[in-house]
Amino acid sequence: MTESIERDERHRARMQRKKALIDEKIAQSQDEYGLLLVHSGNGKGKSSSAFGMVARALGHGIKVGVVQFIKGAASTGEEAFFRRFPDEVSYHVMGEGFTWETQDRQRDIDKAREAWAVAVQLLNDPGIGLVVLDELNIALKYGYLELEAVLADIEARPLLQHVVVTGRGALPGMIEAADTVTEMSLVKHAFKAGVKAQKGVEF
Beta carbons within 10 angstroms of residue 133's beta carbon: 28
For residues 16 to 35, the per-residue mask of contacts with a second copy, x marking binding by CB under 8 A and - elsewhere, is ---------xx--xx-xxxx
Specify the residue, 53 or 138, whose C-beta has the smaller distance to a second copy: 53
Task: Provide, rounded to whole angstroms, the least separation between the CB of residue 125 and a second copy.
Answer: 15
Q: How far is the CB of 105 from a second copy (least distance, A)?
A: 30
CB of 91 to a second copy, least distance (A): 11
Burial of 90 (C-beta count, 10 Å sphere; 0-12/13-18/19+): buried
188 part of the interface to a second copy, by CB under 8 A: yes
State phi, psi for 38 to the nearest 5 degrees: -120, 130
| Run of H or E including 152 | helix 147-155
> Comparing C-alpha atoms, which of 177, 175, 149, 158 is closest to residue 13?
149
Please, what is the minimum distance in Å from the beta carbon of residue 115 to a second copy?
A: 21
Residues 155-174, mask of contacts with a second copy (x by CB under 8 A): -------x------------
CA pair distance 149, 11, nearest whole angstrom: 8
Cβ contacts of 144 within 8 Å, gap of 6 or more: 98, 108, 109, 112, 113
Tell me which stretch binds a second copy (CB under 8 A): 1-9, 55-63, 107-115, 116-124: 55-63
Please, how many CA atoms are within 13 Å of residue 49, restricted to the half-sphere of its CB? 19
Q: Which residues bind a second copy (CB under 8 A)?
A: 25-26, 29-30, 32-35, 37, 39-41, 43-45, 47-60, 62, 75-82, 129-130, 162, 175, 178-191, 194-196, 198-201, 203
